[in-house]
Amino acid sequence: MVFQSLALLSDAAHMLTDVVALAIALAAIRIGERPADTLRTFGYRRFEILAATFNAVLLFLVAGYIFYEGVLRLFDPEPVGSIGMLIVASLGLGINLISMRLLASGVAASLNVKGAYLEVWADMLGSVGVIGGALLIMATGWTWVDPVVAIGIGLWVLPRTWVLLKNTTHILLEGVPKGLALDAVRATIAAVPGVAAVHDLHLWGISSDDVNGSVHVSVMDADAEIVRRRVLEVMQADHGIEHATVQVETGADGDPSGPGHGDDPHR
Amino acid sequence: MGQGHDHGTDAMNDGRLAAAIAVNVLLTLAQIIGGVVSGSLSLIADALHNLNDAASLALALFARKIGRRPADKLMTFGYGRAEVVAALINLTTLIIVGLYLIYEAVNRFLDPQPIDGWIVIWVAGIALVIDIATAVLVYAQSKNSLNIKAAFLHNVSDAMASVGVIAAGLLILFYDLYVADLIITLVISAYVLWQGFSLLPRTIRLLMGAMPDDLEYDRIVAAVQAVPGVRALHHVHVWSLDEHHRSLEAHIVPQVDTLEAFQAVKASVRTVLKTEFSIDHATLEPCLSADMDSAPGAVKAHASGGGGAHRGHDHGHEHQHGSDHGHNDHRDHDR
């Protein structure tokens, strides 16, 4: 604020959202570890996905705000104190690099950590952009560099945020987890000896690293109990579905789980 | 999930939402043109703000349309939750905007800017008219949909902000009362934050798949246990699919150990679930030879009748054991 640099101000706002994002990610990990209870019968792991969604929305808004301010500044450029920009941005860069090192290990495993990591990463890039912008302004006196850098950072962050939001929304909508195909799982179950028909197959994840399944299996000329166990076994062994409910029944059609479904998964 | 909806009403409601979006987009364009022609930055700023409104309404409409799609191979429970996710996004935005308003008001108070004159009041007046028109179009639908309600709230907060700008602008122009801006903005922010935070818990609970309350879980377990032919019940999961639909899965030990007998029991359980708890989606796994352990493939400690822990992943050695050896099966805890 003292140095009147938008790029710097946006960097500072970003830092603040970083702290919030990291705090939320950490809290979500803690809450996600709680065991299932009678209120949340699948446990609390879903909370991490909500935290990641929140962080994605936050990033969107921050990027949107930087755009907004950047456009206004392009119309109405303001003087920039480039030395101050340089010092503060260098400090920010150092802090961001440290945070990135700390978070890097958890990124592959958790969407929640990935969200927080993305924030810090965007920040790091922001600091680099501000430093570059400050040097350019010092050398040339072009104040329009400042909003252009800010808008560039926003443009860089947005597509990544979109991907993160897409992934979390998929889980929140209880979509079939990544890497699994409904038809392949159906085929595996149908191949179990004694299985006459498979319908009402559902696959979904509570968080980014687990799979739940439920399915109806019609049994013909076989011991229902053996078929049920075998189905559970192949679901875990072939597709890693650790938590499944299998309704075995007589007759080729069986009874559906309920109305209101499309044709495909309930064939 | 389609059923029970009148498609004619749906189309009309979508039309109203679309009209609201169109009005906001038109205003945005008009303000940008006016802003560029007159060189007023406050017009352009308000235009971008209105675009934000249009975006929040567009998200709500988009989610409604997506939410009606039937289940497919990707979303096996259907797309109903899209509306809840949209509500989450709009509420999060609302809360952040509320906080940002406070930040800006404090900034303006510490470093008062001369008001751009009457143009600010005119701009806010036009925005207010548009906001009211939008609110009228959307209000009727906001009552039974979290999604539309969140978008509606966004709109109400904007209308209030416009009133605030007009009131504060007049007070500053006539009496130099800069503190009016701060106070009015703080009051509006407080309202926005309060509304946002009061809707958020319900949205989060839905997306976490939670029950309305603990008692209901126990009531469901008790009711199913009371169905004739049911000997025991365990591994019970109940969760919300969307605002109006719930799903259940459970293991049932029937009194008679045959699949044919279980068919009848299953039908009665389904009826109880549907009529007493409006749960119309259920997967019921029969445990026929209940004294045996369960299949090795499904080993995991479950939240059983009383709601136990659910974290015990105990796999990795099951295949050496073969299928006649089970281990730490949850079924044992129930008997």
A209 touches chain B (CB under 8 A): no
Residue A115 has a pLDDT of: 79
Residues in CB range of B146: below 8 A, 6 or more apart: B83, B84, B87, B199, B202, B203, B206, B243
> Once rounded to an integer, what is the mean pLDDT over residues B271-277?
88
Q: Contact B297/A229, CB-based, under 8 Å?
A: yes
- Helices (H), ranges, B68-177: 82-110, 118-139, 146-175
Least trusted range by pLDDT, from A48-52, A216-220, B171-175, B247-251: B171-175
- Closest approach of A7 to chain B, Cα-based (Å): 18
Residue B30 has a pLDDT of: 82
- Same domain as A139, residue A87: yes
Q: Which domain holds residue A99?
A: 6-172
Span between the terminal Cα atoms of chain B, in Å: 38
Residue B87 has a pLDDT of: 92
Dist. CA A61–CA A72, nearest whole Å: 16
Q: Contact B76/A203, CB-based, under 8 Å?
A: yes
Q: Contact B307/A38, CB-based, under 8 Å?
A: yes
Continuous segment of H or E residues that includes residue B8: helix B7-38
Interface test with A, best of B62, B235, B246, B310 (most A CBs within 10 A): B310
Q: Contact B239/A42, CB-based, under 8 Å?
A: yes
Binned at pLDDT 50, 70 and 90, residue A178 comes out as confident
Interface test with B, best of A75, A173, A242 (most B CBs within 10 A): A173
Asked if residue A234 is part of any domain, the answer here is: yes
CA angle A66, A67, A71 (to 5 degrees): 115
Dist. CA B200–CA B208, nearest whole Å: 12
Residue A185 has a pLDDT of: 92
> Once rounded to an integer, what is the mean pLDDT over residues A87-102?
81
Residue in chain A lying closest to B70 (CA) = A262
Q: Residue B69 pLDDT more than 70? A: yes
Binned at pLDDT 50, 70 and 90, residue A14 comes out as low
Asked if residue A166 is part of any domain, the answer here is: yes
Residue A78 has a pLDDT of: 65
Dist. CA A254–CA A197, nearest whole Å: 9
- Cβ neighbours around B320 below 10 Å, total: 8
Dist. CA B280–CA B272, nearest whole Å: 10
Asked if residue A264 is part of any domain, the answer here is: no
Q: Residue B299 pLDDT more than 60? A: no
Q: CATH number of the domain that A188 lies in?
A: 3.30.70.1350
A24 touches chain B (CB under 8 A): no
Q: Residue B238 pLDDT more than 60? A: yes
Candidates A46, A71, A72; nearest CB to B209 = A46
Asked if residue A14 is part of any domain, the answer here is: yes
Three-state DSSP state, A234: helix
Least trusted range by pLDDT, from B35-39, B75-79, B113-117, B301-305: B301-305
Give residue-wise pLDDT tens across range A43-81: 888 888 888 888 888 888 878 877 777 777 777 766 666
- Same domain as A129, residue A19: yes
- Same domain as A111, residue A80: yes
> How high does pLDDT run on average in chain A?
79
Residue B86 has a pLDDT of: 92
Residue B8 has a pLDDT of: 61
- Same domain as A191, residue A131: no
- Same domain as A231, residue A132: no
B238 touches chain A (CB under 8 A): yes
Residue A260 has a pLDDT of: 41
Tokens of A54: 């929140």
Least trusted range by pLDDT, from A107-121, B19-33, B232-246: A107-121
Tokens of B79: 């797309």
Q: Residue A146 pLDDT more than 60? A: yes
Asked if residue A257 is part of any domain, the answer here is: no
Q: Residue A262 pLDDT more than 70? A: no
Binned at pLDDT 50, 70 and 90, residue B52 comes out as confident
Max mean pLDDT among A30-39, B192-201, B308-317 falls in B192-201
CB-CB neighbors (< 8 A) of B204 in chain A: 50
Q: Residue A158 pLDDT more than 50? A: yes
- Same domain as A116, residue A20: yes
> Once rounded to an integer, what is the mean pLDDT over residues A158-176?
87
Residue in chain A lying closest to B71 (CA) = A262
- Same domain as A196, residue A160: no
> Once rounded to an integer, what is the mean pLDDT over residues A254-267?
49
Which of residues A121, A145, A172 is at a domain's end?
A: A172
HSE of B202, CA atoms in CB hemisphere, 13 A: 16
What per-residue string of b and e applies to A208-231 under the rule 16 or more CB within 10 Å gives b? bebbbbbbbbbbeebebbbbbbbb
Report the predicted TM-score, pTM, of the whole model to 2 decimal places: 0.77
Q: Contact B48/A71, CB-based, under 8 Å?
A: yes
Binned at pLDDT 50, 70 and 90, residue B88 comes out as very high
Predicted-assembly ipTM surpassing the 0.90 threshold: no
Q: CATH number of the domain that A74 lies in?
A: 1.20.1510.10
Per the CB < 8 A criterion, the answer to whether A78 and A145 are in contact is no
Binned at pLDDT 50, 70 and 90, residue B305 comes out as very low
- Closest approach of B180 to chain A, Cα-based (Å): 24
Q: Residue B326 pLDDT more than 60? A: no
Residue B114 has a pLDDT of: 66
- Same domain as A186, residue A168: no
A204 touches chain B (CB under 8 A): yes
CB-CB neighbors (< 8 A) of A176 in chain B: 73-76
A57, A66, B49, B85, B91 from A157: Cα distances, Å: 12, 11, 21, 21, 22
> How high does pLDDT run on average in chain B?
76
Please state the domain count of chain A. 2
Q: What is the largest CA-CA distance in chain A?
A: 85
Asked if residue A22 is part of any domain, the answer here is: yes
Binned at pLDDT 50, 70 and 90, residue B323 comes out as very low
Interface test with A, best of B69, B76, B215 (most A CBs within 10 A): B76
B111 touches chain A (CB under 8 A): no
- Same domain as A119, residue A77: yes
Residue A42 has a pLDDT of: 83
Asked if residue A256 is part of any domain, the answer here is: no
Binned at pLDDT 50, 70 and 90, residue B1 comes out as very low
Q: Contact B1/A229, CB-based, under 8 Å?
A: no
Asked if residue A200 is part of any domain, the answer here is: yes
B239 touches chain A (CB under 8 A): yes
Q: Contact A265/B280, CB-based, under 8 Å?
A: no
A229 touches chain B (CB under 8 A): yes
Tokens 């800017």 correspond to B113
Dist. CA B138–CA B13, nearest whole Å: 8
- Same domain as A148, residue A105: yes
Return the percentage of chain A with pLDDT > 70, whole number. Answer: 84
Which of residues A172, A199, A234 is at a domain's end?
A: A172
- Same domain as A89, residue A64: yes
CB-CB neighbors (< 8 A) of A204 in chain B: 76-77
Give residue-wise pLDDT tens across range B142-154: 777 888 888 888 8
Which of residues A138, A172, A206 is at a domain's end?
A: A172
Q: Contact A176/B73, CB-based, under 8 Å?
A: yes
Give residue-wise pLDDT tens across range B22-49: 888 888 888 778 777 766 666 777 777 7
- Same domain as A83, residue A13: yes
In this structure, chain A runs to a length of: 267
Tell me the count of A-B CB pairs closer than 8 A. 236
Per the CB < 8 A criterion, the answer to whether B89 and B49 are in contact is no
